[in-house]
A and B are shown apart, each in its own frame.
Chain A
Amino acid sequence: MSPALLSGLLGAALVGLGLYGLIVHPHPLRKLLAFNLIGSGVFLVFGIVARRGAAAGFAFDAAPQAMVITGIVVAFAASALAVALILRLAAAGGKVTLDPKAWAKPDDGGAK
């Protein structure tokens, strides 16, 4: 098994693991971690496309690798924005959860 094939399968496994963590964990910060796992799995699949693009004489295809580099930086920027939103949500509401039932206002029972 070439490193490229192994890394591609690793990327697939990371996407699966990340998806499971994203759905199952209630805490937003852990959802963010799982989302980053999905992202790095996708980057790995890009990476094996770059490696397989090794035409005659070149060790790799540079275009997908450049895209992965910009992708890693953009993923970090998105994570930073998500963290700022999570912290603001927790500071403003006193709860750190995305469950809508936790944020629902208590029902007055119709009284004014």
Chain B
Amino acid sequence: MSVLPVLDLVLIVLVIGLAAWTIVARDIFAAVLAYVAYGLLLAFVWIRLHAPDVALTEAAVGGGVTGVLLITAGKRLGALKASEAGAPPGLVLKLVAGALALLVAGAVAFAVVSLPTSAPTLAPEIAAAAPGPGAGLGNPITAVLMAYRSFDTMLEKVVLILAVLGVWSVGADQAWGAAPAPLRKPPPDGAMVFLAQILAPAGALIGIHIFWVGADAPGGAFQGGALLAAMWMIAMMARLTEPPRVASRRLRHALISGPAVFLVIGLAGAFIADAFFAFPPALAKPLILLIETFMVLSIALALPLLVAGPPNGSDEP
């Protein structure tokens, strides 16, 4: 009954191989593809670590959306025809870098191996918090994200908005307020349009389901939001819809609705519950689901905007 350790070993070897290929591949496109495959296999490692929520997030965001970001970046970089004027690394630099990498990897491995046997854990504390602030959520990760450490999650949503702001401000001055460049040149490919018309509605439904189910089973706002973001990106790639204008008020209001609703309900917690960011016990689950709904909207808008890039106003992708 011990096939599992062999499978674990094969999985780890594959992941290391793909990571090494990402570093040593000579072509950038090959390196990006190796990184996407690595992200997908890493999801399996997370499942072996009993972390299905993290596996979902890694596959959706780490593998999928980051892959689209990097491939779009490579394509746009190629279209700019910028010269790669950097000097190739010399042998001395490679040796020194290799020695440093071995040192750091060895230090981390030593730390991992010498962790104390009786590990400190927050699991009982989280479970004890479940009836109160955890509010009947069956999924402890959602309880941690939305009740136990809700302030951190709100700040993380603000970080997403700041990243969108950063990407927008990198655009040229005269293009401010325009829409980002489209993700593909016109005219759209027939197969792409077909895929978008069938996959996008189905994927949106699945994304909403994963978000809704995340209260009691693996899933949640981040995973569902990432799926919805991917479906919008597919629709933009098939040119069924265009990236919205950056100056649009509706877009901006919808984008900040996630952290704004979170902050308002958290502030209200100071009056209607015991403390800032606490929930009144009777209303906890409905309030959490309300916050999560707006969070999903924010995430589904922010991720494709991050991939689409700064405002550009032209028709060239």
Q: Which B residues touch A40, using CB under 8 A?
A: 39, 42, 58, 62
Are A53's CB and B119's CB within 8 A?
yes
Q: Is B80 an interface residue (CB 8 A)?
A: yes
How distant is the Cα of A91 from the Cα of B35 in the complex, in angstroms? 25
0/1 string, A69-99, CB within 8 A of B gives 1: 1101111111111011111101101111111
CB distance from A50 to the nearest CB of B (A): 7
B244-262 toward A: CB 8 Å interface, digit per residue (1/0)?
0000000000000000000
CB-CB contacts below 8 Å: B74-109 with A: 74, 76-77, 80, 82-89, 93-94, 96-98, 100-102, 104-106, 108-109
Please give the distance in Å from B141's CB to the nearest CB on chain A. Answer: 5
The verdict on A47 contacting B46 (CB below 8 Å), with A23-B97, A72-B57 known, is yes
Decide: A24 and B97 in contact? CB cutoff 8 A.
Answer: yes
Given A29-B70, A80-B69, A99-B86, answer yes or no on A58-B123 (Cβ-Cβ < 8 Å).
yes
Shortest A101–chain B CB gap in Å is: 8
A77 and B112 form a contact (CB under 8 A):
no
Chain A positions 22 through 65: 1 when the CB is less than 8 Å from some CB of chain B, otherwise 0: 01111101101110110011011101111111110011111101
CA distance A98 to B84 in the complex (A): 10
User: Could you say which residues of chain A place their CB within 8 Å of the CB of B171?
Assistant: 88
Which B residues touch A79, using CB under 8 A?
66, 69-70
Q: Of B8, B15, B23, B53, which is within 8 A of A20 by CB? A: B23
A6 touches B12 (CB 8 A): yes
Is B193 close to A, CB under 8 A? no
The interface residues of chain A lying within 8 Å CB-to-CB of B12 are: 6-7, 9-10
B119 pairs with A45, CB closer than 8 A = no
In the complex, chain B residues whose CB is within 8 Å of the CB of A80: 69, 163, 167, 306-307
Q: Is the CB of A33 within 8 A of B31?
A: yes
Q: Give the nearest-CB partner of B99 in chain A.
A: A20
How distant is the Cα of A13 from the Cα of B19 in the complex, in angstroms? 9
**Interface SS of A by simple majority:** helix
Residues of B within 8 A of A11 (CB): 108, 112
Is B283 interfacial (CB 8 A cutoff)?
no
Least CB separation from A6: chain B residue: B12
Closest to A93 in B: B82
Cβ–Cβ contact A95 & B69, under 8 A:
no
Whether B65 contacts A24 by the Cβ 8 Å rule is no
Asked if B231 is at the interface of the complex by the 8 Å CB criterion, the answer is no
B224 adjacent to chain A (CB < 8 Å): no
Whether A48 contacts B112 by the Cβ 8 Å rule is: yes
Residues of A within 8 A of B82 (CB): 90-91, 93-96
A9, closest chain B residue (CB): B109
Distance, CA A51 to CA B112, complexed state (A):
12
Check B80–A65 contact: CB distance below 8 A: no
Contact between A102 and B86 (Cβ–Cβ < 8 Å)? yes
The reply to whether the CB of B179 lies closer than 8 angstroms to some CB of chain A is no
Residues of A within 8 A of B297 (CB): none
Closest B residue to A82 using CB positions: B73
Contact with A along B36-50 (1 / 0, CB 8 A): 001100100110111
- Which candidate, B147-155, B235-243, B272-280, is the interface stretch facing chain A? B147-155
Within the assembled complex, what's the spacing in Å between the Cα atoms of A80 and B149? Answer: 26
Q: Which of B106-158 contact A (CB under 8 A)?
A: 106, 108-109, 111-113, 115, 119-124, 126-127, 140-141, 143-145, 148-149, 152-153, 156
B143 engages A62 (CB within 8 Å) = yes
A1 within 8 A of B: yes
Does B270 belong to the interface (CB within 8 Å)?
A: no
CB-based closest 9 A-B pairs: A16-B105, A26-B86, A53-B121, A8-B112, A77-B163, A80-B306, A97-B86, A12-B108, A12-B109
- Given pairs A91-B82, A99-B85, 16 additional interface contacts (CB within 8 A): A1-B5, A33-B32, A37-B19, A37-B38, A49-B119, A52-B121, A53-B121, A59-B50, A60-B123, A61-B123, A63-B122, A69-B53, A69-B145, A70-B153, A75-B62, A76-B69
